[in-house]
Amino acid sequence: MNAPSEPKIGILLVNLGTPDATDFWSVRRYLKEFLSDPRVIEAPRWLWLPILNLIVLTTRPARSGKAYASIWNRIGEGSPLRAVTQAQAKKLAAWVAAGNLGAQPITEWGMRYGKPSIAEKLDRLTAVGCDRILIFPLYPQYSATTTATVGDAVFAALEKMRVQPALRIVPAYPDDPVYIAALAQSYRDFAGTLSFVPDTLLVSFHGLPQSYADRGDPYPQQCTATFTALAAALANDVKLTKMSFQSRFGRAEWLKPYTADMVQSLAREGRKNLVVMAPGFAADCVETLEEIDIENRHFFREAGGVNYATVPCLNDSVEGMSVIYHLVARELQGWT
């Protein structure tokens, strides 16, 4: 009697996505896919889609393209988000190959919007025989607009499969001790390189419409959990720690306080040496490299601030990879 074959496991790291280039049409294609998702924009389709196609997609691609162009090639070649996510997957694959799991899962990476798609990478993993797949949405804090959309895309791809793999999805990890320790150490290491002593640390998270939170999205509570744990970990390292939300889109009320308002308020209060970090992003992207590091730096200095610096995201640093290794090992228990 033949012994059963060992299960073949796949790991798929997933981040938000990025345009392929910074030109109008590349950015438009990306924004169309992103902003067409009913999880991202919860307005009625009959109302939102004409606005999207007739107004937003005729004006926003040029503006967003300029923002992307300002940070293109900042980390590796092309999109920083793509470069970092690819590097994270490569280091995870090397860690797996070194025998740290006792098994040899196959590691891939994909994007929720844009390329390479989740469906493409699931096809690749199943084609090589993976019958168990761990999906890792690289979002520390859960939101229906991010983590849930990854699940949507995964299950949409599985609908087309006759033979479906078993699945696990890494849950959000807003106050996981390894994640908080990695954030705190990244701040300390970065602060040690500065020519000034920070008097304030601003912890900025991506925003969310207030109406989404009112309907039960747990995102604001999870951001608060991250902020509270990080502030406690850094209690002896920084004088004042504040929290805010960035990247507001449209005219509706979003989670407050807004980052742009906060950096100006801090400057007007006499805070001269500001450091900002964005722990909700597992990889640097246009929201951190352009919005936080360029746009908000201008707001701070214009309001009277002097020294301003942005802590890099965890990316594929030693601290960042320690979080990924930890969560992968934890979630694969029983499979490896």
Q: Which residues does the annotation place in the binding site for Fe(2+)? A: 206, 287
Interatomic CA distance for residues 327 and 330, integer angstroms: 5
Q: How many CA atoms lie within 13 A of 215 on its CB side?
A: 10
Interatomic CA distance for residues 322 and 236, integer angstroms: 23
Q: Which strands form 307-310's sheet, in the order they lie side by side?
A: 240-246, 200-206, 273-277, 307-310
> How long is the chain?
336
Residue ranges for the known binding site are 206, 287
Closest to 222 in 3D by CA, of 310, 147, 165 = 147
Strand partners, 16: none
DSSP SS3 for 318: helix
- Sequence-distant (≥ 6) Cβ neighbours of residue 75 within 8 angstroms: 83, 84, 284, 315
Cβ atoms < 10 Å from Cβ of 224: 15
